[in-house]
Copies of this chain bind each other. A is one copy, B any other.
């Protein structure tokens, strides 16, 4: 054992220049000094301001771009602009992350179905209280398509749509943001109920009942029907 002990989790003391540039720009955005829509200095200006080469600046900007913090436009009125974070980006990120984590890190179908139930039952309750006419119309159409669609994959998409609209009707963007990736990952990776007798008929039936409760504004019924529905789905898929 030499004089300098090697740590269990080594960190390099000197961060790469592109990392430092990215960090500084990022903290300007997070602190609110740069706000959505603001234009960052041009790459050439950043070169002189940071005293690094253009490649370094560009690598820093690329890192920020892929985090959806900024975006670039070409042309004379172009440049790098601070992005407005929006729910869709967050959902997309979560979808890929959950997809990669599923099966490892102790993240299994069970966890996803459990989280789904935790989120979706209260969402159904809120949906019954807050749904707009647009949501109701969306649910009606989803139900119609669900019954009409042929083929396994197509039905699944419609099922997801129905559940998603219910959550959206709760009018809390956080709930939509968290459930949407769950639905997609479950759909993409796990749900394969080909063998279950009467599966589609029961889904249609329960969706219809949930819709009725939401439409009538019956919060308790909506929550309870959704709870029953999801608990049955868990039984089906958690074998």
Identify the A interface with B (CB < 8 A).
12, 18, 22, 29-30, 36, 55, 58-60, 62-68, 74, 84-87, 89-90, 93-94, 96-101, 104-107, 111-112, 114-115, 118-119, 122-123, 172-175, 178, 182
Contact = CB atoms under 8 A, between A and B. Distances in A.
A96 to B, nearest CB: 6
A30 B184 CA distance: 14
A105 B84 contact: yes
B66 A115 contact: no
A174 B112 contact: yes
A27 B231 CA distance: 34
By secondary structure, the A interface counts as helix
Contacts of A12: 74
A109 to B, nearest CB: 11
Contacts of A64: 66
Contacts of A63: 62-63, 65-66
A88 to B, nearest CB: 11
Contact of A172 (B94, B100, B111): B111
Given A30-B99, A62-B62, A84-B105, 7 more contacts: A59-B62, A85-B100, A86-B105, A106-B173, A107-B173, A115-B174, A174-B182
A8 to B, nearest CB: 15
A66 B97 CA distance: 13
Contacts of A99: 30
Contact of A174 (B22, B107, B123, B174): B107
A127 B153 CA distance: 36
A58 B18 CA distance: 11
Nearest to A104: B84
